[in-house]
Amino acid sequence: MSRSLEDGERAAATGPAPEIACDESGSDGENLTGGNTDVFAHASVSLPVPAAAAAVAEIRDRIRSPAEEYKATHLLREKHRAVLEWLLTPDGPIHGRARVHLMEKSFFVVDRAVGLLLGDPAAAVTLFRAGRRTFGEEGWRAFLEAANRLLRVRHDGDPVAAFYGTVDALRRDSPRSDAAEVLERLAATRPRAVSYRAGFLAGPPLVPVLNPLLPAIVRTAALWSADGRPVRLVHDRQNMLTPDRIAWIEETARRTGAGLVGLRLVVAREDARVQVADFLAGIARKIASDELNGRGDPALTLLLRPYVDPASVWGDVRSGALLAAPVAG
């Protein structure tokens, strides 16, 4: 992760803050284990408006679809493989000017649950790496769903009882192992979970624990301002990005040393830079998901590697190595 900027370094940066355009793909709200996607991608590009508009125009000219608005799905069709490769290659319009922050959703859930209940990142890695092998596919899926349900804001029955019931069942039925030891520790954390859920009685939190978008935006600001020059983010409109949450993003970025001078929202189809970010987010999510599930395309994975943020939230060792997304641990 990029080091924090000292005040003197930030003050030394000259010139107006460049605008970085952003968009995401794979957002299922807080439903990270039962949604439509298993990877979340947040893409960002540093392109002048004319250059972005030229890239969009070139894509339209090469694909020649009658669609009014192009999406990543157009480039991901096999018949347009050459256009997709052109976009990502070193000779393409975004190489060296774009990045993508990836989140493996299942690992994100485990990391957040263990972080909340134990405050031990290493335990989250241990549990995630050995969970499926130790508890079996069905047991591991049950744990992920129970953890997701415990952390999400929406009230659905008794998520605390469901989570600890799942933990207890897996402890009883599983042999002793490093993963089972983490569950033993989790079994003693019920009071902390009860306190967490009780906090919702006063209303939903400003920043839900399971929402990947807000921390991804903060990370994007840190990534692009790592050289000491502050940036301004331009983001596609999202219901999640309320004025209060934008203020939280800006404050969190400043507090953690990222050089963010502001965040403004735009309509994607009205800003070619955001359209390009939308293309990259959707493409990266699909390539990363395919690699995660053992059906990756080696050529496309290799083309994506230079764009992947080294601080991506990824737990799977094999796919993380191929995507060049350093895995936790």
pLDDT in tens, 209-263: 999 999 999 999 999 999 999 999 999 999 999 999 999 999 999 999 999 999 9
- pTM reported for the whole predicted model: 0.92
**pLDDT the model gives residue 223:** 96
Residue 65 pLDDT > 70, yes or no?
yes
User: What is the Cα–Cα distance from 75 to 171, expressed in whole angstroms?
Assistant: 46
Q: What is the pLDDT of residues 117-139, one digit of tens each?
A: 999 999 999 999 999 999 999 99
What pLDDT, on the 0 to 100 scale, is given for residue 4?
A: 35
- Spell 274-288 as b/e; 16+ CB within 10 A means b: bbbbbbbbbbbbbbb
Residue 68 scores a pLDDT above 80: no
Both tokens assigned to 132: 């499926």
pLDDT of residue 305: 96
Banded model confidence at residue 1, pLDDT cuts 50, 70, 90: very low
The whole-number average pLDDT for the span 19-30 is 94
pLDDT higher for 111 or 9? 111
Q: How many residues does the chain have?
A: 329
Nearest-angstrom CA–CA distance, 143 and 162: 10
Instruction: Indicate the SS3 state at residue 117.
Output: helix
What value does the CA radius of gyration of the chain take, rounded to a whole number of Å?
A: 21
Contact indicator for 174, 139 with CB cutoff of 8 Å:
yes
Residue by residue, DSSP assigns 67-101 as -SS--HHHHHSGGGHHHHHHHHSTTSSSTTSEEEE
Is the Cβ–Cβ distance between 235 and 45 less than 8 Å?
no
Strand-pair partners of 104: 39
So what's the pLDDT on residue 317? 94
Position 5 scores a pLDDT of 35
Determine the pLDDT at residue 325.
59
With a CB cutoff of 8 Å and minimum separation 6, the contacts of 101 are 41, 42, 43, 44, 216, 219, 220, 223, 309, 311, 312, 313
Q: For residue 267, which phi and psi values (nearest 5 degrees)?
A: -85, 125
Q: CA 250 → CA 15, 243, 255, distances in Å?
A: 20, 11, 9
Mean of all residue pLDDT scores within the chain: 92
Listed range (96-110, 133-147, 169-183) with the worst mean pLDDT: 169-183
User: Does the pLDDT value for residue 6 go beyond 60?
Assistant: no
Q: Do 176 and 142 form a contact (C-beta atoms < 8 A)?
A: no
- Residues 26-40 have a mean pLDDT of 91
**Is 284 within 8 Å of 98 (Cβ atoms)?**
no
pLDDT for the residue 202: 84
